[in-house]
Amino acid sequence: MPELIEAPSRVEAAGTKPKLIDEYVGRVNTGEDRVSVAHMRSPAGWVEPGQRPDFDEYTVVLNGRIVVEHEGGSLEVAAGQGVLTRAGEWIRYSTPEGAEYIAVCLPAFAPDTVHRDDS
């Protein structure tokens, strides 16, 4: 039987400016550890620490653009585009002009599996 997810849970974000993360599916909102689905709203100038997560992350940009730095350079992902980053890759996300996007992590995001760079 389908299960209604009545509302997301607000999750604290890492990075240089406040970013809104509303988790619909994942460890916080539903107790799910296989996958997480979150709606992100990131302000202009937001940058998070580099990381080497233990999960794949699929990101679909709804508005604005995100920049994904990686060991080989960087790429820009605009509204209507998506990007897949794979477990074990070093990456750093930023939103120079701000962005709204959906992130899906397999397995589900957890603070102890993201492996952020030391500050």
Q: Measured between alpha carbons, how far is residue 96 from residues 43, 64, 76, 114, 119 in Å?
A: 8, 9, 10, 22, 20
Query: Looking at the domain assignment, is residue 106 inside a domain?
Result: yes
Query: Looking at the domain assignment, is residue 119 inside a domain?
Result: no
Residue 118, pLDDT score: 86
Alpha helices in the chain (DSSP H): none
- pLDDT mean across residues, the chain: 96
CATH of the domain at 97: 2.60.120.10
Cβ neighbours for 98, distance < 8 A, ≥ 6 positions apart:
42, 43, 44, 46, 64
Q: pLDDT tens digits for 70-108?
A: 999 999 999 999 999 999 999 999 999 999 999 999 999
* Residue 65 exposure: Cα atoms within 13 Å on the Cβ side: 9
Confidence of residue 119 (pLDDT cuts 50, 70, 90): low
Domain that holds residue 89: 10-111
Residue 15, pLDDT score: 86
Residue 16, pLDDT score: 87
What domain count does the chain have?
1
Residue 14, pLDDT score: 87
Query: Looking at the domain assignment, is residue 4 inside a domain?
Result: no
Q: In this structure, what token pair is assigned to residue 37?
A: 């689905």
Neighbours of 43 (CB within 10 A): 16
* pTM across the whole model: 0.94
Query: Looking at the domain assignment, is residue 86 inside a domain?
Result: yes
DSSP state of 87: T
